[in-house]
Amino acid sequence: MTRLTAISNVVISHAPTPLEKLTNLSAALGVNIFVKRDDCTGLAGGGNKTRKLEYLLADAQNLGADTLVTIGGIQSNHARQTAAAAAKFSMGCELVLEDVEGTPKQDYYQNGNALINRLCHANTHLVPEGSTMDECVEQLLNKLNKQGKKPYFIPMGGSNELGSLGYVECAREIVQQTQQQDLSLDHIVVATGSGGTQAGLLAGFIAQKQTTPVLGICVSRSGAEQQHIVEPLLQQTLALLDLDRDLGIGHVHANGNYYGAGYGITTEQTREAIKRVAALEGILLDPVYTGKAMAGLIDLCEQGEFAQGQNILFIHTGGSQGLFAYQQEF
């Protein structure tokens, strides 16, 4: 991927992250479940946003920015990793966060990712009732510019074509690791929300002429709605790699059967998946992303959608820090 090497990035991730088999879960399901441990990328606990921030931070530096500005929910994993990246690179950090209706409130505002944001000295701006996130961001950027600062805005989840390059690189890692382990994958499963992780993986596999299907388990919307988010982002990422945008046609698959009532709101299946993986493998999933994705993977295995003996790779995108904001759910 010669075009990728020509695009600036900084080094944050503890990469390559491990790719390992979940032996006990595999035995329970009759399917060979492997996991790509992107919860181990480092940066205030790690997670998938760290890879995206490697490219976004380089762009911010090249533009002379001194302050990172981003958006998300109060327990956003992306906000936490952005706050940590800003600290690491001696930049200011401004987080525009909104409350999520239906989430547990006992620890939601002070624990988990919210606690880590404060430890990293990020400034949090809660979206007031009656305002939109876009309005708050515009006001904040204007204020920072008037103060003489040079803000750099990062979209939700770091999910634009530049951020998606982090998962083009992850796809390269996966191909190398499966070759080293003499492992042939039948399916890849990943939580999909803002879309950059799924789009980047697909672009990376397309660039390497790999055809393993990537199924996104939706965390906040229907499969059809999610496809409409990922498809254009995939095309933009392919174009950034100097590849034909049309190579992505037909590659985006999303399952919206497991997100429940909405973003950040757990389901019984999610809680059971989190408890099951912790008990069987000692691996922590989160209530917002990976718990829902694993709930979908387990159910699809039990329903026979994934055949006995197939090799399935689960992308662990991190987020276990959020568990501490959801303790009343458990």
DSSP 3-state of 216: strand
Active site residue 320: no
Query: For residue 155, how many other CB atoms are within 10 A of its CB?
Result: 17
Among the listed residues 76, 164, 220, 320, the single catalytic one is 76
φ and ψ of 299, to 5 deg: -65, -40
Neighbours of 46 (CB within 10 A): 26
- Within the chain, residue ranges assigned H as helices are 2-5, 23-29, 49-62, 77-88, 113-119, 133-146, 161-180, 196-207, 223-240, 268-281, 290-302
**Residue 43 CB-density burial (10 A; 0-12 exposed, 13-18 middle, 19+ buried):** buried
Q: How far apart are CA 275 and CA 329, in angstroms?
A: 11
Q: Which residues are catalytically annotated?
A: 76
